[in-house]
Amino acid sequence: MKPAMRDRKSQLTIAAVACLLGLLVVVQLRGQAGGSALATKSPQDLTILVGNLNTENDRLRAQVTSLQNQLDELRADRANGATSVGQLESDLGRIRAWAGLDPIAGKGVTVQVSGEIDATAAVDLLNELRNAGAEAIAIEDIRLIARTTVSGVPGSLDIDGVLLRDPFVIRAIGTPETLVGSLTRAGGIVAQLSATNPAASVEVQPVDELMVLPATRRDLIPDHGHPRL
């Protein structure tokens, strides 16, 4: 009897340990699977992320409202037999300007870059302008589009194959205060560039008058793709 009891006791102990073991294996596997990568972010990163998502969602909501209004007007025009040419032209003008196919006008900032700066730093500067909400950017008289690239070595950078002189000026259209604030904040891109490119200086000026940025001269219609149906 005694060995049998001891067997039952040992079986219960092993069962309890096995149960705990199984639970931990599941917890560990679920942890490894990751769930959301957000779970490992610091509160600071999460705050920045929430701020960015909020701003973008506001833009997207405005875009939804604008598109919905356009659609409603077009439907109403169509029902009344009215012309929709005016709205088509307006839509066309807006998209062409946004894409860089037409010139664009607005307030914003100028960024004068003097001295030797490397291509990566120039790309980082443009990236920061975009992140701050710039609606259009031009370096000297070259309008930036998605395909625009900056390359070369410090002192002889070129943009889309055109050599940049020293100094060169970047013009960006957007809310001047937002653009200036984003570029010049403590630890921001201008401070970083001063640290990594000591031979260069970057001067940011708000522009409260209308600037006109030119259209791109490049053909943006792809040769190797077609609309997906």
Site for another protein in 11-30 (CB under 8 A): 11, 13-14, 17-18, 20-21, 24-25, 27-28
* Contact between 173 and another protein per CB under 8 A: yes
Least separation in angstroms between residue 93's CB and another protein is 4
Residue 98 engages another protein in binding (rule: CB under 8 A): yes
Contact status: 220 vs another protein (CB under 8 A): yes
Paired with 204 in beta bridges are: 111
User: What is the smallest separation between the CB atom of 214 and another protein, expressed in angstroms?
Assistant: 9
Shortest CB 62 distance to another protein, Å: 6
Q: Give buried/exposed letters for 130-151 (b at 16+ CB in 10 A, else e).
A: eebbbebbbbeebbbbeebebe
Residue 7 touching another protein (CB under 8 A):
yes
Does 104 interact with another protein (rule: CB under 8 A)? yes
Residue closest to 153 by CA, chosen among 103, 187, 204, 119: 119
What does DSSP say about strands 104-115 and 200-213: parallel, antiparallel, or unpaired? antiparallel
> Nearest to residue 220, comparing CAs of 98, 126, 104, 63?
98
Nearest approach in angstroms of CB 81 to another protein is 6
In the stretch 108-127, what mask flags binding to another protein with x, by CB under 8 A?
A: x-----------x--xx--x
Instruction: State the burial class of residue 179 (Cβ atoms within 10 Å of its Cβ: 0-12, 13-18, 19+).
Output: buried
Nearer to another protein by Cβ, of 186 and 223: the residue is: 223
When asked if residue 188 is in the footprint of another protein (CB under 8 A), the reply is no
Helix (H) or strand (E) holding 174: none
| Residue the block writes with tokens 């891109």 | 189
3-state class (DSSP) for residue 102: coil
- Of 112, 140, 141, 151, which one interacts with another protein (CB under 8 A)? 151
Asked if 2 touches another protein (CB under 8 A), the answer is: no
What type of residue sits at position 195?
A
Of 37-56, which residues contact another protein (CB under 8 A)?
37-50, 52-56
Determine the 3-state secondary structure of 12 from DSSP.
helix
Cα distances from 34 to residues 22, 23, 28, 49, 50, in angstroms, run: 19, 17, 10, 19, 20
C-alpha 202: how far from chain center: 22
Whose Cβ is closer to another protein: residue 14's or residue 162's? 14
195-214: contacts with another protein (CB under 8 A): 210, 212
83 makes contact with another protein (CB under 8 A): yes
